[in-house]
Amino acid sequence: KITNHLPTAELQALDAAHHMHPFTSDGALAKKGVRVITSGQGVWLTDSEGSRIIDGMAGLWCVNVGYGRGELADAAARQMRELSYYNTFFMTTHVPAIALAAKLAELAPGDLNHVFFASSGSEANDTNIRLVRRYWDIKGQPERRVIIARKNGYHGSTMGGGSLGGMPYIHAAGGKIDGIEHIGQPHWWAEGGEMTPEDFGLLRARELEEKILEVGADKVAAFIGEPIQGAGGVIVPPSTYWPEIQRICDKYGILLIVDEVITGFGRTGNWFACETFGIKPHIITIAKGLSSGYQPIGGSIVCDEVAHVIGNADDDFNHGYTYSGHPVASAVALENLRIIEEDGIIDHVRNVAHPYLAEKWHKLGEHPMVGQTSLVGLMGSIQLTPNKATRAKFAAKPGTIGFRTREHCFRNNLIMRHVYDRMIISPPLVITTEEIDVLIDRATRSLDAAYAEVRA
């Protein structure tokens, strides 16, 4: 029997023999070094060797309330006993899905009052492609099919989500669906040259207008973007960017989809980053922090106008998943939202992020290898560079230095992720000031070790 009690090497060998890992290109490395995680509590993970690791990434940006919350296990067990499964297709529903949809309508800003459930962020973005095209079909403008997204954006890895995303390596893994266009990303440090961040933000936002005019305004259905590009490297846009995107979407009557899969549920110090950045979307994509990763659940929160047009059409909206609104996942998500609310976790994010983490995080900018630090709430990035003054990139293959730094973090029992030459964090939102000290100390030691290698 395969349990936690097997020696690590045996678990690693079985893993290598049978388990295909997502987004793991270097099979040899996975076979050699894969770490077996056995338990979690708060912001801490334990591996099969007994090491205690501080999780600077909340799993995959999702474990907002931290690991090991018994209330969530109880909610799952209760719901499994009462109604383990039923669907929400056709003419049935159940209380967990009703209660969660109503709660999300209460929490979401503006007139975002309707929820279409999925099991993941990718599925939710696939839903969004259908929702916006269906909306324009019913409105009598079926030629509006194009969705404009951004290079280096990430919206999941199904064919739909992967196509919306602007990662060429994902498009290379099996192609890309038609009708998706990409514009540049608002990544001032890497691409802004001599411009001020504000001017660069406007320049990049105005690419949306250029693209709309190129495609034809009557052919564009929607624009989709993450408030802060997450998997692209935690790229916080200049302050001018989102207001200009909003203005352009409004001007051309284009639907605005904001992908809050990472930024939702407290990450930026508000329930949604739309509030942090003052964005007024028609649809918000959610997943991850919705259940703090305790159950796979995602969805689209849809505004009154779009939901009413689709819902009141003569024909059905022929789209849905067996697990849309799964009762156990919904019950766990609802309990997770209760915890975020009653434990005051969003206030906690604001209190620990500024000034406590912010001061320490931005101080890392004094490190000789760090060119820029960004932080919004508990979502941060560090740009690695061989020359801060010229904003130079490392000459070696992009990502080499980030990869090395990540490996040092790993050895120092800190999970930080790298995206090319950027290091990123997104810890559980319950992280304490003492735990922030541990995170910063381990990150500093890891940066020092990687820097020593670069100089050697």
Binding site for ligand PLP (CB under 6 A): 60, 120-122, 125, 154-156, 161, 226, 230-231, 259, 261-262, 287, 298
Q: Name the residue among 162, 160, 183, 182 with its Cα closest to residue 173.
A: 162
Residue 22 C-beta: closest distance to ligand PLP, Å = 9
Residue 290 has which token pair?
A: 């919705």
Residue 235 is given by DSSP the state B
- Helices 95-107, 327-342: axis angle to 10 degrees equals 40
Looking at the Cβ atoms of 261 and 401, the one nearer to ligand PLP is 261
Q: Name the residue among 83, 150, 154 with its Cα closest to residue 329.
A: 83
Cα 178 from Cα 180, distance rounded (Å): 6
Residue 289 is given by DSSP the state G
- Identity at 55, one-letter amino acid code: D
Q: Name the residue among 139, 137, 138, 97 with its Cα closest to residue 119.
A: 97
Cα 155 from Cα 317, distance rounded (Å): 22
Point out the residue whose Cβ comes nearest to ligand PLP. 121
- Three-state SS for 25? coil
Residue 361 C-beta: closest distance to ligand PLP, Å = 21
Residue 165 C-beta: closest distance to ligand PLP, Å = 8
Q: Are 202 and 195 in contact (CB under 8 A)?
A: no
Residue 323 C-beta: closest distance to ligand PLP, Å = 13
Looking at the Cβ atoms of 120 and 270, the one nearer to ligand PLP is 120
Looking at the Cβ atoms of 131 and 369, the one nearer to ligand PLP is 131
Residue 180 C-beta: closest distance to ligand PLP, Å = 14
Cα 34 from Cα 37, distance rounded (Å): 9
Looking at the Cβ atoms of 230 and 238, the one nearer to ligand PLP is 230
Residue 156 C-beta: closest distance to ligand PLP, Å = 3
Looking at the Cβ atoms of 254 and 261, the one nearer to ligand PLP is 261
Residue 12 C-beta: closest distance to ligand PLP, Å = 25
Residue 116 C-beta: closest distance to ligand PLP, Å = 15
Looking at the Cβ atoms of 269 and 298, the one nearer to ligand PLP is 298
Cα 419 from Cα 423, distance rounded (Å): 6
User: Hey, which bits of 208-307 come out as E strands?
Assistant: 220-225, 255-259, 283-286, 298-303
CB atoms within 10 A of CB 392: 11
Looking at the Cβ atoms of 137 and 259, the one nearer to ligand PLP is 259
- Identity at 335, one-letter amino acid code: E
Looking at the Cβ atoms of 297 and 401, the one nearer to ligand PLP is 297
Cα 299 from Cα 305, distance rounded (Å): 18
Q: Are 316 and 134 in contact (CB under 8 A)?
A: no
Residue 155 C-beta: closest distance to ligand PLP, Å = 5
Instruction: For 159, list phi and psi in degrees, rounded to 5.
Output: -60, -40
